[in-house]
Chain A
Amino acid sequence: MKTAILKYNAGNTRSVLFALERLGVEATVTDDPEELKAADKVIFPGVGEASTAMAYLRERKLDTLIKDLKQPVLGICLGMQLLCKHSEENNTDCIGVFDLEVKKFQSPVENLLKIPQIGWNNITGLHSVIFEHVNQNDYMYFVHSYFAELGSETTAIANYVINYSAALQKDNFYAVQFHPEKSAEAGQNIIESFLRL
Protein backbone atom coordinates (compact mmCIF):
# COMPACT_ATOMS: atom_id res chain seq x y z
CA MET A 1 0.00 0.00 0.00
CA LYS A 2 1.28 3.45 -0.92
CA THR A 3 0.36 6.31 1.38
CA ALA A 4 1.14 9.87 0.33
CA ILE A 5 1.13 12.94 2.54
CA LEU A 6 0.60 16.14 0.59
CA LYS A 7 3.57 18.46 0.86
CA TYR A 8 2.70 22.15 0.88
CA ASN A 9 3.36 25.35 2.79
CA ALA A 10 1.08 24.59 5.73
CA GLY A 11 1.95 21.42 7.39
CA ASN A 12 2.18 19.27 10.38
CA THR A 13 3.54 16.70 7.97
CA ARG A 14 6.18 15.50 10.38
CA SER A 15 3.64 14.70 13.10
CA VAL A 16 1.46 12.84 10.62
CA LEU A 17 4.46 10.96 9.27
CA PHE A 18 5.44 9.90 12.80
CA ALA A 19 1.88 8.83 13.64
CA LEU A 20 1.90 6.58 10.56
CA GLU A 21 5.32 5.28 11.53
CA ARG A 22 3.93 4.29 14.96
CA LEU A 23 1.36 2.22 13.08
CA GLY A 24 4.12 0.60 11.07
CA VAL A 25 3.16 2.43 7.87
CA GLU A 26 5.72 4.09 5.64
CA ALA A 27 4.51 7.17 3.81
CA THR A 28 5.94 9.60 1.27
CA VAL A 29 5.67 13.35 1.68
CA THR A 30 5.21 14.67 -1.83
CA ASP A 31 3.73 17.35 -4.07
CA ASP A 32 4.44 15.38 -7.23
CA PRO A 33 1.13 15.02 -9.17
CA GLU A 34 1.94 11.56 -10.51
CA GLU A 35 2.97 10.25 -7.13
CA LEU A 36 -0.17 11.65 -5.52
CA LYS A 37 -2.44 10.18 -8.18
CA ALA A 38 -0.77 6.78 -7.90
CA ALA A 39 -1.03 6.56 -4.10
CA ASP A 40 -3.57 4.24 -2.48
CA LYS A 41 -4.31 6.79 0.24
CA VAL A 42 -3.67 10.51 0.38
CA ILE A 43 -3.44 12.53 3.58
CA PHE A 44 -3.96 16.28 3.36
CA PRO A 45 -2.62 17.70 6.63
CA GLY A 46 -2.49 21.30 7.68
CA VAL A 47 -1.57 23.82 10.28
CA GLY A 48 -1.49 27.35 8.96
CA GLU A 49 -3.48 30.08 7.30
CA ALA A 50 -6.09 29.47 4.59
CA SER A 51 -5.34 32.14 1.95
CA THR A 52 -1.57 31.52 1.85
CA ALA A 53 -2.16 27.78 1.67
CA MET A 54 -4.75 28.08 -1.14
CA ALA A 55 -2.50 30.44 -3.13
CA TYR A 56 0.31 27.91 -2.88
CA LEU A 57 -1.95 25.02 -3.95
CA ARG A 58 -3.44 27.00 -6.88
CA GLU A 59 -0.07 28.09 -8.17
CA ARG A 60 0.93 24.42 -8.44
CA LYS A 61 -2.55 23.32 -9.66
CA LEU A 62 -2.75 21.05 -6.64
CA ASP A 63 -6.25 22.35 -5.84
CA THR A 64 -7.80 20.73 -8.90
CA LEU A 65 -5.61 17.67 -8.53
CA ILE A 66 -6.91 17.11 -4.98
CA LYS A 67 -10.51 17.56 -6.05
CA ASP A 68 -10.12 14.96 -8.80
CA LEU A 69 -8.52 12.29 -6.61
CA LYS A 70 -10.41 8.99 -6.61
CA GLN A 71 -8.68 7.12 -3.79
CA PRO A 72 -9.54 7.75 -0.10
CA VAL A 73 -8.35 11.20 0.98
CA LEU A 74 -8.10 12.33 4.61
CA GLY A 75 -8.08 16.07 5.33
CA ILE A 76 -6.81 17.11 8.76
CA CYS A 77 -7.49 20.47 10.47
CA LEU A 78 -6.68 23.17 7.88
CA GLY A 79 -6.74 20.35 5.31
CA MET A 80 -10.41 19.79 6.18
CA GLN A 81 -11.20 23.50 5.99
CA LEU A 82 -9.53 23.81 2.60
CA LEU A 83 -11.74 20.97 1.30
CA CYS A 84 -14.77 23.17 2.05
CA LYS A 85 -16.18 25.78 -0.31
CA HIS A 86 -15.12 29.03 1.30
CA SER A 87 -13.36 30.23 4.44
CA GLU A 88 -13.87 33.47 6.33
CA GLU A 89 -10.15 33.40 7.05
CA ASN A 90 -9.02 36.21 4.77
CA ASN A 91 -12.12 35.60 2.62
CA THR A 92 -10.66 32.60 0.82
CA ASP A 93 -12.27 30.47 -1.89
CA CYS A 94 -11.30 26.90 -1.15
CA ILE A 95 -11.33 23.57 -3.00
CA GLY A 96 -15.04 22.92 -2.63
CA VAL A 97 -15.40 19.18 -2.14
CA PHE A 98 -17.74 19.93 0.75
CA ASP A 99 -20.44 22.51 0.14
CA LEU A 100 -19.80 24.26 3.44
CA GLU A 101 -18.70 27.62 4.77
CA VAL A 102 -15.79 27.87 7.24
CA LYS A 103 -16.42 30.55 9.87
CA LYS A 104 -14.55 32.10 12.77
CA PHE A 105 -15.54 31.35 16.36
CA GLN A 106 -17.22 34.37 17.94
CA SER A 107 -16.94 34.60 21.70
CA PRO A 108 -20.19 35.55 23.45
CA VAL A 109 -19.73 38.95 25.15
CA GLU A 110 -21.07 37.83 28.52
CA ASN A 111 -18.92 34.73 28.74
CA LEU A 112 -15.37 35.18 27.43
CA LEU A 113 -14.30 32.17 25.41
CA LYS A 114 -10.73 31.61 24.43
CA ILE A 115 -9.92 31.58 20.75
CA PRO A 116 -8.30 29.51 19.32
CA GLN A 117 -9.86 26.52 20.95
CA ILE A 118 -6.85 24.57 22.24
CA GLY A 119 -7.27 21.20 23.88
CA TRP A 120 -9.32 18.04 24.12
CA ASN A 121 -13.01 18.08 23.21
CA ASN A 122 -15.49 15.23 22.79
CA ILE A 123 -17.03 14.21 19.48
CA THR A 124 -20.59 12.91 19.08
CA GLY A 125 -23.02 11.83 16.38
CA LEU A 126 -20.35 9.64 14.83
CA HIS A 127 -21.30 7.91 11.61
CA SER A 128 -18.38 7.14 9.39
CA VAL A 129 -16.39 3.99 8.84
CA ILE A 130 -13.28 5.83 10.08
CA PHE A 131 -14.91 6.00 13.54
CA GLU A 132 -15.43 2.25 13.67
CA HIS A 133 -12.97 1.90 16.55
CA VAL A 134 -13.76 5.02 18.57
CA ASN A 135 -16.66 5.63 20.93
CA GLN A 136 -19.27 8.36 21.04
CA ASN A 137 -17.89 11.13 23.27
CA ASP A 138 -14.27 10.09 22.88
CA TYR A 139 -11.91 13.06 23.23
CA MET A 140 -9.80 14.44 20.41
CA TYR A 141 -7.16 17.16 20.37
CA PHE A 142 -8.27 20.38 18.64
CA VAL A 143 -6.36 23.58 17.83
CA HIS A 144 -8.38 26.01 15.69
CA SER A 145 -10.03 29.41 15.41
CA TYR A 146 -12.22 28.58 12.40
CA PHE A 147 -14.80 25.82 12.03
CA ALA A 148 -16.94 24.21 9.32
CA GLU A 149 -20.68 24.57 9.80
CA LEU A 150 -22.93 21.57 10.22
CA GLY A 151 -24.27 20.06 7.01
CA SER A 152 -25.51 16.88 5.41
CA GLU A 153 -21.86 15.75 5.06
CA THR A 154 -21.16 16.06 8.79
CA THR A 155 -20.07 12.74 10.31
CA ALA A 156 -19.07 13.96 13.79
CA ILE A 157 -20.11 16.95 15.87
CA ALA A 158 -18.15 18.93 18.44
CA ASN A 159 -19.29 21.86 20.54
CA TYR A 160 -17.36 25.04 21.26
CA VAL A 161 -19.52 28.15 21.39
CA ILE A 162 -21.84 26.27 19.00
CA ASN A 163 -22.17 22.84 17.42
CA TYR A 164 -19.96 22.45 14.38
CA SER A 165 -18.54 19.75 12.09
CA ALA A 166 -15.74 17.80 13.80
CA ALA A 167 -15.65 15.51 10.77
CA LEU A 168 -17.01 15.36 7.22
CA GLN A 169 -17.36 12.74 4.54
CA LYS A 170 -18.38 12.75 0.90
CA ASP A 171 -17.61 9.95 -1.53
CA ASN A 172 -13.88 9.20 -1.16
CA PHE A 173 -13.19 12.35 0.89
CA TYR A 174 -12.86 12.10 4.66
CA ALA A 175 -11.97 15.03 6.85
CA VAL A 176 -11.46 15.77 10.54
CA GLN A 177 -11.07 19.12 12.28
CA PHE A 178 -9.07 17.67 15.17
CA HIS A 179 -5.57 16.18 15.06
CA PRO A 180 -5.86 12.38 15.09
CA GLU A 181 -2.04 12.22 14.97
CA LYS A 182 -1.97 13.93 18.41
CA SER A 183 -5.10 12.40 19.93
CA ALA A 184 -3.56 9.46 21.78
CA GLU A 185 -4.98 6.01 21.10
CA ALA A 186 -8.41 7.19 19.94
CA GLY A 187 -6.78 9.26 17.21
CA GLN A 188 -4.50 6.42 16.24
CA ASN A 189 -7.54 4.17 15.76
CA ILE A 190 -9.07 6.67 13.34
CA ILE A 191 -5.93 6.81 11.22
CA GLU A 192 -5.80 3.02 11.25
CA SER A 193 -9.43 2.74 10.10
CA PHE A 194 -8.75 5.23 7.31
CA LEU A 195 -5.70 3.26 6.15
CA ARG A 196 -7.80 0.08 6.06
CA LEU A 197 -10.37 1.56 3.65
Chain B
Amino acid sequence: MLTKRIIPCLDIKDGRTVKGVNFENIRDAGDPIELGALYAEQGADELVFLDITATNERRKTLSELVTKIARHVNIPFTVGGGISSVEDVSVLLNAGADKVSVNTAAFKNPQLLNDLSREFGSQCIVLAIDTRFEDGDWFVYLNGGRVKTDILTTDWAKEAVDRGAGEILLTSMNNDGTKQGFALDITGRLSQNLHVPVIASGGAGTMEHFADVFEKAGADAALAASIFHYKEMEIQELKTYLYKRGVQIRF
Protein backbone atom coordinates (compact mmCIF):
# COMPACT_ATOMS: atom_id res chain seq x y z
CA MET B 1 0.00 0.00 0.00
CA LEU B 2 1.08 3.51 -0.76
CA THR B 3 1.68 5.30 2.53
CA LYS B 4 0.81 8.77 3.82
CA ARG B 5 3.85 11.02 3.95
CA ILE B 6 5.23 13.13 6.81
CA ILE B 7 7.17 16.11 5.50
CA PRO B 8 9.22 18.49 7.66
CA CYS B 9 9.64 21.91 6.08
CA LEU B 10 12.83 23.94 6.52
CA ASP B 11 12.92 27.67 5.86
CA ILE B 12 16.24 28.77 4.39
CA LYS B 13 17.72 32.25 4.42
CA ASP B 14 21.19 32.92 3.02
CA GLY B 15 21.93 29.20 3.10
CA ARG B 16 20.91 28.73 6.75
CA THR B 17 17.77 27.34 8.34
CA VAL B 18 15.73 30.08 9.95
CA LYS B 19 13.85 28.11 12.57
CA GLY B 20 15.34 25.34 14.60
CA VAL B 21 16.48 24.83 18.13
CA ASN B 22 19.34 22.97 19.63
CA PHE B 23 19.27 19.39 18.55
CA GLU B 24 21.53 17.38 20.77
CA ASN B 25 22.70 15.01 18.08
CA ILE B 26 23.78 17.57 15.52
CA ARG B 27 26.45 20.18 15.69
CA ASP B 28 24.62 22.98 13.95
CA ALA B 29 20.83 23.22 13.82
CA GLY B 30 21.19 26.19 11.47
CA ASP B 31 22.78 23.97 8.87
CA PRO B 32 20.03 22.80 6.50
CA ILE B 33 22.07 19.79 5.38
CA GLU B 34 22.62 18.44 8.87
CA LEU B 35 19.06 19.10 9.93
CA GLY B 36 17.69 17.53 6.73
CA ALA B 37 19.85 14.44 7.14
CA LEU B 38 18.73 14.13 10.76
CA TYR B 39 15.05 14.27 9.79
CA ALA B 40 15.68 11.65 7.10
CA GLU B 41 17.30 9.41 9.66
CA GLN B 42 14.36 9.91 12.04
CA GLY B 43 11.92 8.68 9.42
CA ALA B 44 10.78 11.76 7.48
CA ASP B 45 9.37 10.65 4.13
CA GLU B 46 10.37 13.76 2.22
CA LEU B 47 11.73 17.21 2.93
CA VAL B 48 10.73 20.65 1.71
CA PHE B 49 13.27 23.48 1.66
CA LEU B 50 11.71 26.89 1.29
CA ASP B 51 14.15 29.65 0.37
CA ILE B 52 13.17 33.05 1.71
CA THR B 53 16.38 34.86 0.76
CA ALA B 54 15.69 38.13 -1.01
CA THR B 55 19.15 39.09 -2.28
CA ASN B 56 20.41 38.97 -5.84
CA GLU B 57 22.92 36.24 -5.07
CA ARG B 58 20.16 33.91 -3.92
CA ARG B 59 20.01 31.78 -7.05
CA LYS B 60 23.63 30.76 -7.00
CA THR B 61 23.69 30.21 -3.24
CA LEU B 62 20.53 28.15 -3.47
CA SER B 63 21.71 25.88 -6.27
CA GLU B 64 24.97 25.23 -4.43
CA LEU B 65 23.02 24.41 -1.30
CA VAL B 66 20.71 22.09 -3.24
CA THR B 67 23.70 20.13 -4.52
CA LYS B 68 25.03 19.76 -0.99
CA ILE B 69 21.65 18.55 0.24
CA ALA B 70 21.37 16.06 -2.64
CA ARG B 71 24.80 14.68 -1.77
CA HIS B 72 23.91 14.03 1.85
CA VAL B 73 20.20 13.33 2.06
CA ASN B 74 18.92 9.92 0.93
CA ILE B 75 15.21 10.77 0.65
CA PRO B 76 13.40 12.97 -1.89
CA PHE B 77 13.26 16.70 -1.39
CA THR B 78 11.43 19.69 -2.86
CA VAL B 79 12.84 23.19 -3.21
CA GLY B 80 10.64 26.28 -3.32
CA GLY B 81 10.67 30.02 -2.88
CA GLY B 82 10.69 32.67 -5.57
CA ILE B 83 10.86 30.26 -8.51
CA SER B 84 9.51 32.01 -11.58
CA SER B 85 10.89 30.49 -14.78
CA VAL B 86 11.78 27.32 -16.66
CA GLU B 87 15.40 28.36 -16.27
CA ASP B 88 15.08 28.60 -12.45
CA VAL B 89 13.62 25.10 -12.34
CA SER B 90 16.20 23.68 -14.70
CA VAL B 91 19.02 24.99 -12.50
CA LEU B 92 17.52 23.51 -9.32
CA LEU B 93 16.68 20.09 -10.80
CA ASN B 94 20.13 19.87 -12.34
CA ALA B 95 21.62 20.79 -8.98
CA GLY B 96 19.92 17.69 -7.53
CA ALA B 97 16.43 18.72 -6.32
CA ASP B 98 13.78 16.03 -6.88
CA LYS B 99 10.91 18.48 -7.16
CA VAL B 100 10.33 22.21 -7.16
CA SER B 101 7.40 24.15 -5.81
CA VAL B 102 5.99 27.23 -7.49
CA ASN B 103 3.46 29.65 -6.07
CA THR B 104 2.93 33.34 -6.96
CA ALA B 105 4.74 33.19 -10.31
CA ALA B 106 2.48 30.36 -11.50
CA PHE B 107 -0.63 32.26 -10.47
CA LYS B 108 0.50 35.36 -12.34
CA ASN B 109 1.58 33.34 -15.36
CA PRO B 110 -0.32 30.02 -15.39
CA GLN B 111 1.33 29.03 -18.69
CA LEU B 112 4.45 28.43 -16.56
CA LEU B 113 2.83 25.22 -15.26
CA ASN B 114 2.26 23.95 -18.81
CA ASP B 115 5.84 24.79 -19.73
CA LEU B 116 7.33 23.21 -16.62
CA SER B 117 5.36 19.98 -16.86
CA ARG B 118 6.15 19.59 -20.53
CA GLU B 119 9.82 20.24 -19.96
CA PHE B 120 10.38 18.25 -16.76
CA GLY B 121 7.26 16.10 -16.19
CA SER B 122 4.36 16.77 -13.80
CA GLN B 123 5.84 14.50 -11.14
CA CYS B 124 8.40 17.13 -10.15
CA ILE B 125 6.16 20.21 -10.26
CA VAL B 126 4.47 21.05 -6.96
CA LEU B 127 2.01 23.94 -6.91
CA ALA B 128 1.95 25.72 -3.55
CA ILE B 129 -1.23 27.61 -2.66
CA ASP B 130 -1.63 29.89 0.35
CA THR B 131 -5.32 30.10 1.17
CA ARG B 132 -7.55 31.97 3.63
CA PHE B 133 -11.19 31.45 4.51
CA GLU B 134 -13.24 34.61 4.43
CA ASP B 135 -16.69 35.73 3.29
CA GLY B 136 -17.82 32.11 3.16
CA ASP B 137 -15.11 30.57 1.00
CA TRP B 138 -11.41 29.86 0.57
CA PHE B 139 -9.43 32.38 -1.51
CA VAL B 140 -5.94 32.30 -3.01
CA TYR B 141 -3.35 34.62 -1.47
CA LEU B 142 -0.03 35.55 -3.07
CA ASN B 143 3.42 36.81 -2.06
CA GLY B 144 3.68 34.74 1.08
CA GLY B 145 0.12 35.59 2.12
CA ARG B 146 0.43 39.36 1.80
CA VAL B 147 -1.70 39.85 -1.32
CA LYS B 148 -5.32 38.76 -1.55
CA THR B 149 -6.91 37.63 -4.82
CA ASP B 150 -10.58 37.12 -5.60
CA ILE B 151 -9.94 33.65 -7.03
CA LEU B 152 -11.31 30.58 -5.24
CA THR B 153 -8.72 28.04 -4.15
CA THR B 154 -10.77 25.17 -5.61
CA ASP B 155 -10.85 26.87 -9.03
CA TRP B 156 -7.14 27.69 -9.10
CA ALA B 157 -6.14 24.20 -7.93
CA LYS B 158 -8.22 22.58 -10.65
CA GLU B 159 -6.82 24.82 -13.36
CA ALA B 160 -3.28 24.23 -12.11
CA VAL B 161 -3.69 20.45 -12.24
CA ASP B 162 -5.17 20.68 -15.76
CA ARG B 163 -2.10 22.69 -16.74
CA GLY B 164 0.30 20.09 -15.36
CA ALA B 165 0.89 20.57 -11.61
CA GLY B 166 1.74 17.15 -10.21
CA GLU B 167 1.03 17.84 -6.54
CA ILE B 168 -0.70 20.57 -4.54
CA LEU B 169 0.90 21.93 -1.38
CA LEU B 170 -1.96 23.66 0.40
CA THR B 171 -1.26 26.02 3.31
CA SER B 172 -4.20 27.38 5.26
CA MET B 173 -3.34 30.82 6.59
CA ASN B 174 -6.21 30.57 9.07
CA ASN B 175 -4.61 27.52 10.61
CA ASP B 176 -0.91 28.22 10.15
CA GLY B 177 0.81 28.84 13.46
CA THR B 178 -2.30 28.10 15.55
CA LYS B 179 -1.44 24.47 16.42
CA GLN B 180 -5.20 23.86 16.36
CA GLY B 181 -5.15 21.36 13.52
CA PHE B 182 -5.10 21.37 9.72
CA ALA B 183 -7.87 22.91 7.60
CA LEU B 184 -9.81 19.70 7.03
CA ASP B 185 -12.55 21.28 4.93
CA ILE B 186 -10.53 22.75 2.07
CA THR B 187 -7.92 19.98 2.20
CA GLY B 188 -10.69 17.40 1.84
CA ARG B 189 -12.36 19.27 -1.00
CA LEU B 190 -9.14 19.40 -3.00
CA SER B 191 -8.09 15.88 -2.16
CA GLN B 192 -11.40 14.35 -3.20
CA ASN B 193 -11.68 16.28 -6.45
CA LEU B 194 -8.16 16.29 -7.83
CA HIS B 195 -6.32 13.34 -9.31
CA VAL B 196 -2.96 14.49 -7.91
CA PRO B 197 -1.67 14.19 -4.33
CA VAL B 198 -2.52 16.95 -1.85
CA ILE B 199 -0.03 17.94 0.85
CA ALA B 200 -1.73 19.61 3.82
CA SER B 201 0.14 22.38 5.62
CA GLY B 202 -0.57 24.75 8.47
CA GLY B 203 -1.94 24.08 11.94
CA ALA B 204 -0.25 20.86 13.09
CA GLY B 205 -0.13 20.81 16.89
CA THR B 206 -0.86 17.27 18.02
CA MET B 207 -0.46 13.79 16.62
CA GLU B 208 -4.22 13.53 16.36
CA HIS B 209 -4.19 16.47 13.94
CA PHE B 210 -2.12 14.37 11.54
CA ALA B 211 -4.47 11.41 11.90
CA ASP B 212 -7.44 13.72 11.22
CA VAL B 213 -5.99 15.24 8.07
CA PHE B 214 -5.25 11.76 6.67
CA GLU B 215 -8.43 10.00 7.80
CA LYS B 216 -11.02 12.77 7.58
CA ALA B 217 -9.64 14.97 4.81
CA GLY B 218 -7.91 12.26 2.76
CA ALA B 219 -4.65 14.21 2.48
CA ASP B 220 -1.79 12.29 0.88
CA ALA B 221 0.89 14.01 2.93
CA ALA B 222 1.17 16.42 5.83
CA LEU B 223 3.79 19.11 6.23
CA ALA B 224 4.90 20.81 9.43
CA ALA B 225 7.76 22.99 10.55
CA SER B 226 7.89 24.35 14.07
CA ILE B 227 6.58 21.31 15.95
CA PHE B 228 9.48 19.33 14.54
CA HIS B 229 12.07 22.10 14.78
CA TYR B 230 11.18 22.87 18.39
CA LYS B 231 11.05 19.17 19.18
CA GLU B 232 7.46 19.30 20.38
CA MET B 233 6.99 16.12 18.42
CA GLU B 234 9.42 13.46 17.25
CA ILE B 235 8.78 12.06 13.78
CA GLN B 236 9.27 8.50 14.97
CA GLU B 237 6.81 8.98 17.82
CA LEU B 238 4.26 10.48 15.40
CA LYS B 239 4.65 7.59 13.01
CA THR B 240 4.23 5.03 15.78
CA TYR B 241 1.01 6.76 16.80
CA LEU B 242 -0.34 6.82 13.23
CA TYR B 243 0.65 3.21 12.65
CA LYS B 244 -1.24 2.12 15.76
CA ARG B 245 -4.28 4.06 14.58
CA GLY B 246 -4.21 2.08 11.36
CA VAL B 247 -3.00 4.88 9.08
CA GLN B 248 -0.80 3.52 6.27
CA ILE B 249 2.63 4.80 7.13
CA ARG B 250 6.24 3.89 6.36
CA PHE B 251 7.47 2.47 9.58
Q: Using CB atoms and an 8 Å cutoff, list the residues of chain A in contact with chain B.
A: 14-15, 18-19, 21-22, 47-49, 107, 112-122, 139, 141-145, 159-160, 179, 181-185, 187-188
Instruction: Contacts A121-B1, A181-B74 known; list 6 others, CB within 8 Å.
Output: A22-B71, A47-B124, A118-B166, A118-B167, A139-B3, A188-B74
Chain B interface (Cβ < 8 Å from any Cβ of A): 1-3, 5, 40, 45, 70-72, 74-76, 94-96, 98, 121-124, 166-167, 192, 194-197, 220-221, 250-251
A19, A141, A145 pick with most chain B CB within 10 angstroms: A141
Q: Are A114 and B195 in contact (CB under 8 A)?
A: yes
B192 — which chain A residues lie within 8 A by C-beta?
112
* Complex contact B123–A18 (CB within 8 A): no
> In the complex, which of the residues A22, A112, A116, A119 contacts B3, with contact meaning CB atoms closer than 8 Å?
A119
What are 21 A-to-B residue pairs whose CB atoms are below 8 Å?
Answer: A14-B70, A15-B96, A15-B98, A19-B74, A47-B121, A48-B121, A49-B121, A112-B195, A113-B195, A116-B122, A116-B123, A118-B123, A119-B3, A119-B221, A120-B45, A122-B1, A145-B123, A179-B76, A182-B74, A184-B75, A185-B74
- Which one, A18, A116, A119, A145, contacts B45 given CB within 8 A? A119
User: With A18-B70, A22-B74, A160-B2 as given contacts, are A120 and B197 in contact (CB-CB < 8 Å)?
Assistant: no
In the bound complex, how far is the Cα of B167 from the Cα of A187, in angstroms?
A: 24
B76, A182: Cβ atoms closer than 8 Å: yes
